[in-house]
Amino acid sequence: MDAPTSVAGRSTVYAPNAMVATSQPMASSVALRILQNGGNAFDAAIGASSVLSLVEPHMTGLGGDLFALFWSAEEGKLVGLDATGRAGAKMTPEQIRADGFDRVPGSGPGAVTVPGAIAGWGALNERYGSMSLAEILAPAIALAEEGFPVTPIIASQWSDQTAKLKQDPGATDTYLIDGERSPEAGEWFRNHDFARSLRMIAREGPAVMYGGNLGQTVIEGLAKLGGYLTLDDMEAMEVRWVEPLSMDYKGWTVWELPPAGQGISVLQMLGMLEPFDLVSMGHNSAEYLHHLIEAKKVAFADLARHVADAAHMEIDPKALIDPSYLESRQSLIDPNRAAVRVEPGKFATATETIYLSVADSDGNMVSFIHSIFGSFGSGVVVPGTGFVLQNRGAGFTLEDGHPNQVAPGKRPFHTLIPGFVTKNGQPLMSFGVMGGSMQPQGHVQVVLNMIEFGMDPQEAIDAARFRHRGALRVSVENMTPALQEGLETLGHEIAPWKTTSYGGGQLVMRLEKGWAGASDPRKDGLAIGH
């Protein structure tokens, strides 16, 4: 869709006690209800995530992974959670090649890794929640049983995946009306199998997925289709509590999670860009966009070569954001000419994701991202479960000797990156932008919109974005002839902008008193508070 404009955009939402921003109104309303009923930001984030798993099934679900970056008011610190599943015991380069693939499958049973999201829900709930998991999941269960009207953008994206869903009987039965078509905007949709799976999780806890009845059903179904997971792989699922990485930028400290995610590229881009006088260039001018695009190319070159499961990286991730190293990398940015630089391989491209942000009256702030990777993930739904399994295995490479080469028990390269900002050691903003390789580009653009150009939260989310597509190709929303000419003079090749996805962002910001929230009009979302 066309980018929003200053003439007909949204306004920032303000509230005194708490704030929610998600990509779907029903998820926002459920999270708000949880907060109003005495739950905290962690309860609300899980509740919103469970609803989004139902109403945005092409983006997220019980078969995916999640990450969270949050301020714990009680502990007075920023905490990171990595709920990533690993590759299965049978997911070896040799087996994949023997099965006739020249790369890790992008869809189907061979792309499925252990789903970590339910374990992530459980870990957050156990350590930080104030309500039971059964209470938190109740609204999503009711919605799945009683049904809901599908919103317009979701209906359009769902329709685009009809052919993929028809390739798997379980997906056809679960997500297509009469096995033939996707639901239209405003049409009622129910998912009784999803409700049944959520009830099992509510009743028995996350263990039901990791060795219990639900997990056994998933593994047995995958085995019939030729998947690489075993029940032992499911039972071995463990979340990681991780130390976030940061970069100071003109008084703001921007935080990202460490690898195997791509968040470190955000910090690299900001570190390379800070010495430039971006304001004098003018917002979204050809000169300004050129510098951001070139910084992205440099950061993504490092991303493609070095970033993998942290246990398998050949370098310390912190070395990639060392000031002296970034100074040497910044020297590669030619202010007068676009560089031809190869985009990362297939393991660092497209993804479908939900991002949400929640803050409560106690001062907890949760930056939360949950995904099944590609649209409808692997495209595989084990009959009776009501949810699609992720294709996160596609995040690996088969390249021998690469730190991200697929191997049993290894975490794949991940695109998911929740963002956070502190100022003077205190929490300021939880934010995120969805969309695969668009995520780091979106993080940087939103942050610079606010720091360099003084935009308020909604203006920063609304503002037109660029997306570098690879090599010299770039798309820019609301492209004008003058801007196109300016970028082409610098050597960029302009790709069509109206058919490009620029992600969807959510943002919650702490004020001196109260909260501000923003939700991206590129999605069906809603920021709302009380």
pLDDT for 341 equals 55
Helix (H, G, I), strand (E, B) or coil at 36: helix
pLDDT for 294 equals 95
- Read off the pLDDT band of 352 (50, 70, 90): low
- Read off the pLDDT band of 6 (50, 70, 90): very low
- Mean pLDDT calculated for residue range 468-490: 94
Which range is least confidently modeled, 56-70, 144-158, 170-184, 295-309?
A: 295-309
Domain parsing of the chain, residue ranges: 21-241+372-395, 251-348+417-529
Is 353 one of the annotated active-site residues of the chain?
yes
- Mean pLDDT calculated for residue range 369-386: 96
**CA–CA separation, 341 and 297 (whole Å):** 7
Nearest to 530 by CA among 44, 23, 3, 10: 44
**pLDDT for residue 349 is more than 60:** no
Pairing mode of beta strands 365-373, 245-249: unpaired
Burial of 501 (0-12, 13-18, 19+ CB in 10 A): middle
Q: Do residues 61 and 55 lie in contact, with contact meaning Cβ atoms separated by under 8 Å?
A: no
**pLDDT for residue 325 is more than 90:** no
**pLDDT for residue 362 is more than 70:** yes
Tokens of 196: 């049944």
**pLDDT for residue 248 is more than 50:** yes
What is the rounded (10 degree) CA torsion for 281, 291, 495, 444?
-100
- Read off the pLDDT band of 8 (50, 70, 90): low
Which range is least confidently modeled, 45-59, 107-121, 304-318, 440-454?
A: 304-318
pLDDT for 348 equals 36
Nearest to 234 by CA among 49, 409, 415, 412: 409
**CA–CA separation, 218 and 415 (whole Å):** 24
Selected catalytic residue, list 353, 385, 415, 422: 353
**CA–CA separation, 53 and 174 (whole Å):** 13
pTM of whole model > 0.85?
yes
DSSP category for residue 389: B
Q: Do residues 376 and 87 lie in contact, with contact meaning Cβ atoms separated by under 8 Å?
A: no
Statement: 251-348+417-529 belongs to CATH 3.60.20.40: yes
